Chains A and B, each alone.
Chain A
Amino acid sequence: MLWVVLVVSTVLLLLLPTGLERELHPPGVPVVTGWSGAAYGQGISDFLNGVAARDLPYVQDDGRVINFFPYLANSWWNSFRLFAAVVGIALPLGLVLGALFVARARWLRAAGSVLPILGQALPDFFLVMLAHTIAIWAYRVYGVRLWPVLAEPGVERGWLVPMIALVAFPAGYLARLTAASLDEVIHSDYIRTARAKGLPEWRVIGRHALASAWPRILSGLPTALNMTLSGLVVVERLTVWPGLARWLVPQESFLIDSGGFQITGIGPPIVALTGALFITWFVLVDALTRSIAIVGLKGGSALS
Chain B
Amino acid sequence: MKGILRRTNWPTVVGLLLLACIAVLLLVPSVFPVRPPDQVQVGIEAGGTVHRPPFAPGTLGYPLGSDLAGRDMLSRLAVGGRYTLGISLLVVALRAAVAVPLGLFAGWNRNWLAAALMTLSTAVSSIPSLVLIVFLLGTLSQVFRISWRLPLYCAVIAAIGVPRLAHQVAELTAAVRSQPFVEGAIAVGATSGRIVKRHVLPVLRGDIAVALATEVAWVMVIMGQLAVFDVFIGDTTLVIVGNRPVTVEVIPEWSQMMGLNRHEVRLHPWIPGFPAILLGLTVTAVHFLAEGLRRTWSRRRAG
Residues of A within 8 A of B (CB): 1-2, 5-6, 8-10, 12-13, 15-20, 22-26, 31, 33-35, 40, 114, 117-118, 120-127, 129-130, 132-133, 136-137, 149, 151, 223, 226, 229-230, 233-234, 237-238, 248-250, 253-255, 261, 263-266, 268, 271, 274-275, 278-279, 282-283
Contacts and interface: CB of A to CB of B under 8 A. Distances in A.
The 10 A-B pairs with the shortest beta carbon distances in the complex, nearest first, are: A265-B138, A126-B280, A12-B86, A121-B287, A9-B89, A230-B128, A282-B126, A129-B276, A9-B90, A19-B251
In which size bucket is the chain B interface? 35 or more
A229 B36 CA distance: 40
B279 interface: yes
B45 interface: no
B20 interface: no
A31 to B, nearest CB: 5
B163 interface: no
Contact of B277 (A2, A130, A279): A130
Interface of B: 10-11, 36-38, 79, 82-83, 85-90, 92-93, 96-97, 100, 123, 125-132, 134-135, 137-139, 141-147, 149-150, 209, 212, 217, 220-221, 224-225, 228-231, 233-235, 250-252, 258, 262, 265-266, 269, 272-273, 276-277, 279-280, 283-284, 287-288, 291
A223 B125 contact: yes
Given A1-B209, A9-B87, A19-B252, A254 B221 contact: no
B280 A123 contact: yes
B93 A125 contact: no
A117, A122, A229, A274 interface centre (most CB from chain B within 10 Å) = A117
A2 to B, nearest CB: 6
Nearest to B100: A2
A88 B108 CA distance: 41
A58 to B, nearest CB: 16
Given A117-B288, A233-B128, 6 more contacts: A2-B93, A17-B36, A24-B147, A34-B142, A129-B265, A248-B229
Contact of A16 (B79, B141, B217): B79
B128 A229 contact: yes
Given A9-B93, A23-B233, A126-B224, A137 B269 contact: yes
Contact of B128 (A33, A237, A278): A278
B197 to A, nearest CB: 14
26 contacts: A2-B93, A9-B89, A16-B86, A17-B36, A22-B235, A23-B251, A26-B147, A33-B141, A114-B10, A124-B225, A129-B277, A130-B273, A133-B273, A223-B125, A226-B125, A230-B128, A230-B129, A230-B130, A234-B225, A237-B229, A250-B231, A263-B141, A274-B131, A275-B131, A278-B131, A282-B125
Contact of B90 (A13, A149, A266, A271): A13
Contacts of B131: 233, 248, 266, 271, 274-275, 278
B265 A13 contact: no
A23 B135 CA distance: 21
Nearest to A149: B266
A12 B266 contact: no
Interface of B: prevailing SS: helix
A239 to B, nearest CB: 11
Contacts of B86: 9-10, 12-13, 16
B135 A263 contact: no
Nearest to B134: A266
Contacts of A5: 89, 92-93, 96, 212
Contacts of B89: 5, 8-9, 12
Contacts of A20: 150, 251
B90 A19 contact: no
B37 A265 contact: no
B25 to A, nearest CB: 14
B8 to A, nearest CB: 12
Given A18-B38, A137-B269, A271-B131, A121 B283 contact: yes
A238 B150 contact: no
Given A123-B224, A125-B228, A278 B127 contact: yes
Given A16-B82, A136-B266, A264-B138, A279 B127 contact: yes
A226 B134 CA distance: 18
A248 B132 CA distance: 12
A212 to B, nearest CB: 21
B100 to A, nearest CB: 8
Given A263-B138, A279-B127, A23 B279 contact: no
A122 B277 contact: no
Contacts of A130: 273, 276-277, 280
B128 A226 contact: yes
Nearest to B224: A125
B228 to A, nearest CB: 5
Contacts of B277: 126, 129-130, 133
Given A125-B224, A226-B126, A268-B135, A23 B150 contact: yes
B147 to A, nearest CB: 6
B16 to A, nearest CB: 15
Contact of B83 (A1, A16, A151): A16
Contacts of A264: 138, 230
A268 B138 CA distance: 10
